[in-house]
Amino acid sequence: MKRTVIAILALMMVVLPFSTAFGQEKATYKIGITQIITHPALDLCRKGFIDQLAKEGFTEGVNVTYDYRNVEGDMSLAASIAQKFVAEKVDLIFSIATPTTQASAKAVEGTDVPVVFGALTDPVAAGVVDSWEKPGGNVTGCSDWADVGAQVKLAMDIHPGIKKLGVIYNAGEINSVVQVKELKKAAPALGIEKVVEATAATTADIYAAAMSLVGRVDAIWEPTDNTVAAAMESIVKVAESNKIPLFGSDISMAKRGAISGAGLDYYVNGVEAGKLAARILRGEKAADIAVTRCPITIIYLSPKAAERMGISIPANVLERATEIGS
């Protein structure tokens, strides 16, 4: 009997180390979530991520714990939070937006801690992956890259004859710089003669940046910029007071006062990121998982906002809306 017990214990010592290698999941996982600011779109991205992981069998309070941190635009804090997650050896970091992903990517260098991102536009330009197809490091995720030309075309369909188009953005956000470059490429084919830029380093600078466009532009279009998103109401105030049509690049901008928003569903962006995270938690490497994109699926139009800015939305454009607000 004693020999039998010893034999069984010896066998277990051999088999158990291999069980994890052959796909048995850990009992519990810890995931760090770092978010750049409080914003409806980014909050939806986080919710989609957590909901999808639950569907994949990684349920909060059962086999997953989340450490959620919102840095509210403080990049030094973003770096500290990322370093904290690495020091605690979390199983995965979910970074929401470009700046927090950049901080996380730097923090995990030389470690085996994977990072999955959401709400980031161009991961190659941001320097967090080698390529879309083969990320090559610890980072992959789901991009919120949208067709800038299609978004601006919607603005032109609503308000034809725009020759000078204003854009406000934070030049320190690479995702915004990339979108403005795309805007400049698309402008000539749309009949736009000049893109007038106004930059703002902080939310406190947004109102002055918007005021600097008064009398210089026929309309304003906003990219998915985190600084702008945090102070959207300041731009809306200037647009309404000076009858400058304002168009957004995501749905939340339209819901907060812009005339239109054509973009992806950030909840879906989080869901897709959650799918990638589940694959990594099951043993795949971030380096081998291609970065994915979400399609434009929503057109939100606000006739009342258009009226407040001195224009009306044509009936044929209203017919294309997936949602019409006030």
Strand residue runs (E) in 183-228: 194-199, 219-221
Residue 64 bridge partners (DSSP): 29, 60
Least confident of 24-28, 248-252, 319-323: 24-28
Evaluate if residue 284 carries a pLDDT over 70: yes
Evaluate if residue 86 carries a pLDDT over 80: yes
User: How are beta strands 260-263 and 298-301 bridged, if at all?
Assistant: antiparallel
Q: Average model confidence (pLDDT) for the chain?
A: 92
Q: Which two tokens stand for residue 73?
A: 């635009």
Answer yes or no: same fold for 27-144+266-293 and 148-263+298-324. yes
Evaluate if residue 14 carries a pLDDT over 60: no
Please tell me the predicted confidence (pLDDT) of residue 297: 84
Query: Helix 40-55 and helix 266-281: axis angle, to 10°?
Result: 40
What is the C-alpha separation between 294 and 111, in angstroms, rounded?
29
Evaluate if residue 318 carries a pLDDT over 90: yes
CB 101 within 8 A of CB 120: yes
Least confident of 13-22, 170-179, 230-239: 13-22
3-state secondary structure of 265: coil
Q: Which CATH architecture has domain 27-144+266-293?
A: 3-Layer(aba) Sandwich (3.40)
Please tell me the predicted confidence (pLDDT) of residue 2: 47
* Annotated domain spans of the chain: 27-144+266-293, 148-263+298-324
- 113 DSSP 8-state letter: -
pLDDT digits (tens, 9 = 90+) for 124-165: 999 999 999 999 999 999 999 888 999 999 999 999 999 999
What is the C-alpha separation between 303 and 236, in angstroms, rounded?
14
Among 29, 8, 1, which Cα is nearest to 113's?
29
What is the C-alpha separation between 33 and 21, in angstroms, rounded?
26
Evaluate if residue 208 carries a pLDDT over 50: yes
CB 198 within 8 A of CB 168: yes
Over residues 293-320, the mean pLDDT reads: 94
Q: 148-263+298-324: what fold?
A: Rossmann fold (3.40.50)
Over residues 313-318, the mean pLDDT reads: 97
Strand residue runs (E) in 129-179: 139-143, 164-169
Evaluate if residue 282 carries a pLDDT over 90: yes
Evaluate if residue 239 carries a pLDDT over 90: yes
Q: How many other C-beta atoms lie within 10 A of the C-beta of residue 223?
A: 27
C-alpha torsion sign, points 73, 75, 80, 83 = positive
Over residues 114-125, the mean pLDDT reads: 95
Evaluate if residue 235 carries a pLDDT over 60: yes
pLDDT-derived band at 274 (thresholds 50, 70, 90) equals very high
pLDDT-derived band at 25 (thresholds 50, 70, 90) equals low
Please tell me the predicted confidence (pLDDT) of residue 8: 42
pTM of the model: 0.71
